Each structure stands twice: as C-alpha cells, then as structure tokens.
Structure 1
Amino acid sequence: MKYLLTDNYAPIKVLLAEDDEDDQFFFSDALAELPFPTELTIASNGKDAVEKLTQAESKPDIIFLDLNMPKMNGKDCLKFIRMDKTFCSIPCIILSTSSAHTEIEETYHAGANLYILKPNEGSNLLKMVNKALKLDWKENFTPKKELYFLSERTLQRA
C-alpha cells in the first residue's frame, strides 16, 4: 500500500519551521508553483513550530525544519516530534545550508526522513520540494542512507 501525499484530493498541509524571511518566501513561492494544492503554515523557529503543532486543529502532512534557528533548533524540534505519539508518524525534512557529515548523521539517527541541502537556485528548490512531496512515505519513512541526503548535485544525477 502506498502513501503518497499527492494522492489526496485535499491540499497537502505543510509546516515550515524557518527563521529566515527570504527562505520562507522562496519556499512559499516553490509551493505555489507545484501542480497540486498545498496549505503552508510558517513557524519562525522550533519553539513556534511546536506551539503550532500542539495548538492546531489538524496536524500537518509533512514538516520541513531548518536546522539552525533561534529559541529551538531543528534537531531539538525533530526530537520533540519523534517523541510525541501524535506527531511521530509525520515525515520530517531537514533544510540546511550545512553539508557537514556530523549534522547529516545526527539528524538521520534522530529520525529525520530526508535532508535537503538548501539550493542556490529557486528552480532546484522547487524540484527538491516536489520530490519530497511525491515520495511514497510508507516505503521511505525509514530512509535508505544513500537516499537521505538531497543536494543540487544529487538532484542532477537522479
């Protein structure tokens, strides 16, 4: 049985935890260009993301977490999500400018489902977000290590 977010007729509910306003805009712009409907909720840090999760009437279908944010970083937010039975089954994607092996390994072992190295080009962000939203999350919830890291370079090889 497949679990594709794009198979639903309802908009895909996306939570983005990102402190940089420019990155929020680029992400929102990428979602607007997708050929399927989405609803975006933006949190400006991990603490705000946790508050939005716990206070929302419905939970998001997918969460994108910036790694480096004030108040609560992406790793701590991810740990909260994975420890809470209400949210632990939601796919969590890490967004970062860091390609440090330690960051990638730590987030993989903490339960993130995909690590996206923030691209330099908006068109590549669109492709990366599109790819994340079209993954079969039943099959890819526990990611294969070789498919966990997505960058502009790996995107071109795919």
Structure 2
Amino acid sequence: MSRSLNILLIEDDAIEVMKFNRVVSTLKFNHKVIEANNGEVALEILKVKEVIPDIIVLDLNMPKINGIEFLEILKNDDYLKYIPAIVLTTSNNHTDVLQCYKIGIAGYVLKPLKYDDYLNRIQKMLEYWSVNELISQ
C-alpha cells in the first residue's frame, strides 16, 4: 500500500522546483513537498526536527553548500543519516555518481530534457519510495 511522503526538495533553480511540484500535483500524489533553495536552508529545516522528511531529493549544483557537501554533513549526523537521499541532477559525471554512492545516497536520477521523460522518472521514483518498507517504519 502506498503512503504519502514528506519530501525535502533541495533545489536552487525556481523553474526546477515548479516542475517538480507540477509533477507531484499532476500525478495527484498526496505528498508534502518542503522546499529549500540550498543546502544551508535544508540543514536549518532538518535541525528543527518537527517534520523529518521521508526522503530528500536534491540537486548537486547549488550555491553555499553544494549537494555533495550537504550529503557528507547529512550522513555524518547520527539522527539524520538514515533519511534516504536521492540526487536529482543534470550531472552525468561518473565521478559525481561514484562519490555520491560512496557517501551513501539511495539513488541518482538524471534530469531529462523532455518534460514527459521527467514526469515519468519522478513518478517512478515517488511510487517506489511510497511503498518502500524503510519509509513505513
């Protein structure tokens, strides 16, 4: 049985944020999206610990704290390190992919150029995490 997710979206590009929210709305998922426009803001949200996200979806290329720096901070925190982090990025650099998996990400998704392909990838990702047993615990 699928469940609603609390998603922390860390993305500095307003168009990408709108696109992600549009997909969630179009697919009629009942997920809550919490937005942070960089890693620093995301860390402040996570420190509050009122609403711990079920998953974190983040871009790699961001100002202040980039995605890899954010992941290193996240995975070194004993309380937050178990939150699945999925990289959603345009970078298909093999070094980035390997580094992210070494840090401990749960997935690496490339942003396709065509909206229909983007919608399809986000749909599959959210469907997977909404039925994942880790999230239901």
- TM-score (structure 2 length as normaliser): 0.88
Residue 129 of structure 1 deviates from its aligned partner by 1.6
Residue 115 of structure 1 deviates from its aligned partner by 0.7
Which of 3, 15, 20 is equivalent to 1:22? Answer: 15
Residue 119 of structure 1 deviates from its aligned partner by 1.1
Structure 1: segments with no counterpart, 5+ residues = 1-5, 140-158
Which of 39, 43, 47 is equivalent to 2:40? Answer: 47
Distance 1:104 1:137 in 2: 23
Q: Calculate percent identity across the aligned residue pairs.
A: 36
Which of 112, 119, 127 is equivalent to 1:126? Answer: 119
Counterpart secondary structure, 1:134:
helix
Which of 103, 117, 129 is equivalent to 1:110? Answer: 103
In structure 1, give the amino acid aligned to 2:106.
N
- TM-score (structure 1 length as normaliser): 0.77
CA RMSD of aligned residues (A): 1.6
Say if 1:112 and 1:59 are closer, same or farther in 2 by CA, change over 3 A: same
Query: Is residue 33 of structure 1 aligned with residue 36 of structure 2?
Result: no
Structure 2: segments with no counterpart, 5+ residues = none
Residue 30 of structure 1 deviates from its aligned partner by 0.8
Query: Is residue 7 of structure 1 aligned with residue 12 of structure 2?
Result: no
In structure 2, give the amino acid aligned to 1:107.
C
- List per-residue Cα deviations over 1:93-117 (Å, max 9, x = no partner): 1111111110111101111111111
Distance 2:71 2:92 in 1: 18
Contact preservation (8 Å) 1:91, 1:137: no
